[in-house]
């Protein structure tokens, strides 16, 4: 069995307990570093918004010998805008130009048809106006905000407000990482991207709720016991769901990875690329946040409660006293036991029997005879070697 498999087996059986909560500052540092890198990429490169958000035109040509570079040059020269050209199967070109109105779209279509030597009607053109793109952007942001608001209300009612805040922090982390990766790799943001982001937010929330349910079960009556602090009980809940989180994430990432690396990378599926990247990055970030962020943030917020602080002091104080008691028992030997390590003479009389107490009138009394405590070995060889017959 591999080392990872052994760790998973021990976690499933409760034979090991990793201190996720105790090492939360380490996870916070890693999370802040990742978010800074993602936001830096977003600030430097920005998002490449598709025509559904900016407006423009998409031209799909029939099978042609026109190269990608030539098609891009014609589209950019005619429209005056930056064009993106993608070669599909069967020498079909997909040419996307943002910021075009109806008149400019017609001129670009005609220029491409002249270069290809075909009628303009044979080139499929889809035009998206700027107002439609603005409306799509507004609706996407509204959907995400409504989703976050409903999630907060649900968690506050089902669990408590501290867990709702922690879940929001985890979801914002997932959003920042996904958007930052999109900016760094330069993928185009399309409606499929928005669908993927909402999907991974729902998945991350599902994983977080499962962890919170176990944590709540472990800490429901934490003040009635004095063995573990609130943080330790919460950490037990995280460990109890770790194997489930790993298995669920791996199973979900396998088909998404196939869509991303095979469907879009090898087969050239544009829509698959848009949705699979957001799913792949979001699922990975959601698994991290549900374990390394959500519960540790909840514990930090819970530690501000005076009742939790008092309970933690009692548990740690009782633990310190018990440890001090064990140390004193192990380190301090009683004086009368100092002779226990000396060699013992079995033929010597007991110590009090060697003392002769004074009798009446100053005469020494005869020592009291005590039964001997010496054990004689059994005479096993007494009759060995004698001829058979009557034993003496």
Q: What's residue 297's pLDDT? A: 93
> What is the mean pLDDT of the segment spanning 290-319?
89
For the chain, the domain total comes to 2
* More confident of the two residues 296 and 122: 296
* More confident of the two residues 349 and 388: 388
Which of 317, 342, 377 finishes a domain? 317
Q: What's residue 3's pLDDT? A: 63
In a domain, 279, yes or no: yes
Instruction: Please report, for the domain that includes residue 35, its CATH number.
Output: 1.20.1640.10
In a domain, 373, yes or no: no
Beta carbons of 122 and 46 less than 8 angstroms apart: no
Q: Do residues 136 and 220 share a domain?
A: yes
Q: Do residues 281 and 296 share a domain?
A: yes
In a domain, 180, yes or no: yes
Which of 68, 100, 128 finishes a domain? 128
Q: Do residues 98 and 78 share a domain?
A: yes
Beta carbons of 264 and 273 less than 8 angstroms apart: yes
In the three-class reduction of DSSP (H, G, I as helix; E, B as strand; rest coil), residue 124 is classed as strand
Q: How far is CA 357 from CA 51, 74, 367, in A?
A: 114, 127, 8
Q: What is the mean pLDDT of the chain?
A: 76
What are 160-195's pLDDT values in tens digits? 899 999 999 999 999 899 889 888 887 778 777 888
Q: Do residues 180 and 90 share a domain?
A: no
pLDDT at 383 over 70: no
Q: What's residue 37's pLDDT? A: 93
Measured over the CA atoms of residue 185, residue 189, residue 190 and residue 196, the dihedral's sign is positive
The position carrying tokens 């976690």 is 11
In a domain, 219, yes or no: yes
Edge-to-edge order in the sheet of strand 124-128: 83-87, 93-98, 56-60, 124-128
Instruction: Please report, for the domain that includes residue 60, its CATH number.
Output: 3.30.70.3400
Q: Which of 160, 301, 166, 161 is nearest to 230 (CA)?
A: 301
> What is the mean pLDDT of the segment spanning 78-94?
77
Q: What's residue 29's pLDDT? A: 94
* More confident of the two residues 172 and 8: 172
Least confident of 29-38, 60-69, 291-300: 60-69
Q: Which of 251, 275, 252 is nearest to 263 (CA)?
A: 275
Q: Do residues 188 and 273 share a domain?
A: yes
Q: Do residues 175 and 104 share a domain?
A: no
Instruction: Of 199-208, 210-219, 325-334, give the range with the top mean pLDDT.
Output: 210-219
Q: Which residues, including other chains, have CB under 8 Å from residue 127's CB and lie 6 or more apart? A: 56, 57, 100, 102, 105
Which of 128, 149, 171 finishes a domain? 128
pLDDT at 139 over 70: yes
> What is the mean pLDDT of the segment spanning 247-267?
76
Angle at 321 between CA 317 and CA 324, to 5 degrees: 135
Structure tokens given for 305: 């409660």
pLDDT at 384 over 70: no
In the three-class reduction of DSSP (H, G, I as helix; E, B as strand; rest coil), residue 364 is classed as strand
Q: What's residue 315's pLDDT? A: 86
* More confident of the two residues 54 and 380: 54
Percent of the chain with pLDDT over 70: 74
Q: What's residue 133's pLDDT? A: 63
Q: What's residue 120's pLDDT? A: 81
Interatomic CA distance for residues 283 and 254, integer angstroms: 11
pLDDT at 344 over 50: no
Q: What's residue 28's pLDDT? A: 93
> What is the mean pLDDT of the segment spanning 117-123?
82
Q: Do residues 174 and 245 share a domain?
A: yes
In the three-class reduction of DSSP (H, G, I as helix; E, B as strand; rest coil), residue 89 is classed as coil
Residue 320 has a CB neighbour count (10 Å cut-off) of 10
Q: Do residues 138 and 201 share a domain?
A: yes
In a domain, 223, yes or no: yes
Q: Do residues 138 and 204 share a domain?
A: yes
Q: What's residue 362's pLDDT? A: 39
Give 199: exposed, middle or buried? Use CB within 10 Å, 0-12, 13-18, 19+.
Answer: middle
pLDDT band at 337 (very low <50, low <70, confident <90, very high): very low
Q: Do residues 92 and 215 share a domain?
A: no
What are 13-46's pLDDT values in tens digits? 555 677 888 889 999 999 999 999 999 988 888 8
In the three-class reduction of DSSP (H, G, I as helix; E, B as strand; rest coil), residue 65 is classed as coil
Q: What's residue 130's pLDDT? A: 63
Q: Do residues 210 and 68 share a domain?
A: no
pLDDT at 351 over 70: no
Domain membership of residue 161 as a residue range: 3-47+132-317
pLDDT at 316 over 50: yes
């Amino acid at each position: 069995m591999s080392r990872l498999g052994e760790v998973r087996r021990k976690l499933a059986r409760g034979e090991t307990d990793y201190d996720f909560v105790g090492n939360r500052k380490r996870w916070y540092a890693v999370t802040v570093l990742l978010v800074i890198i993602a936001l830096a990429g977003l600030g430097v490169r920005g998002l490449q918004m598709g025509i559904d958000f900016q407006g423009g035109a998409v031209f799909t040509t029939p099978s042609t010998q026109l190269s990608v570079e030539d098609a891009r040059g014609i589209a950019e020269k005619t429209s005056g805008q930056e064009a993106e050209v993608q070669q599909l199967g069967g020498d079909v070109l997909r040419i996307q130009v943002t910021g075009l109105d109806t008149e400019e779209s017609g001129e670009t279509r005609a220029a491409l048809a002249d270069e290809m030597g075909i009628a303009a009607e044979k080139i499929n053109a889809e035009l998206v106006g700027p107002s439609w793109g603005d409306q799509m952007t507004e609706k996407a942001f509204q959907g995400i905000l409504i989703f976050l608001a409903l999630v907060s209300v649900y968690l506050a009612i089902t669990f408590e407000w501290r867990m709702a805040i922690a879940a929001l922090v985890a979801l914002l982390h997932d959003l920042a990482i996904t958007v930052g990766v999109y900016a760094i790799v330069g993928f185009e943001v399309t409606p499929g991207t928005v669908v993927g982001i909402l999907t991974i937010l729902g998945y991350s929330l599902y994983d977080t709720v499962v962890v919170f349910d176990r944590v709540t079960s472990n800490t429901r009556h934490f003040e009635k016991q004095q063995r573990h602090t609130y943080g330790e009980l919460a950490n037990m809940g995280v460990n109890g769901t770790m194997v489930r989180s790993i298995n669920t994430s791996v199973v979900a990432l396998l088909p998404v990875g196939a869509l991303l690396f095979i469907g879009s990378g090898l087969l050239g599926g544009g829509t698959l690329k848009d949705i699979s990247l957001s799913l792949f990055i979001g699922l990975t970030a959601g698994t991290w946040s549900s374990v390394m962020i959500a519960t540790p943030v909840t514990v930090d917020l819970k530690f501000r409660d005076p009742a939790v602080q008092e309970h933690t002091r009692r548990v740690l104080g009782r633990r310190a006293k018990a440890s001090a008691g064990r140390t004193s028992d192990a380190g301090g030997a009683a004086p009368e036991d100092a002779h226990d390590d000396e060699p013992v003479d079995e033929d010597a009389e007991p110590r009090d029997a060697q003392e002769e107490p004074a009798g009446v009138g100053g005469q020494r009394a005869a020592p009291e005879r005590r039964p001997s405590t010496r054990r004689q070995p059994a005479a096993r060889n007494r009759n060995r070697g004698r001829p058979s017959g009557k034993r003496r």
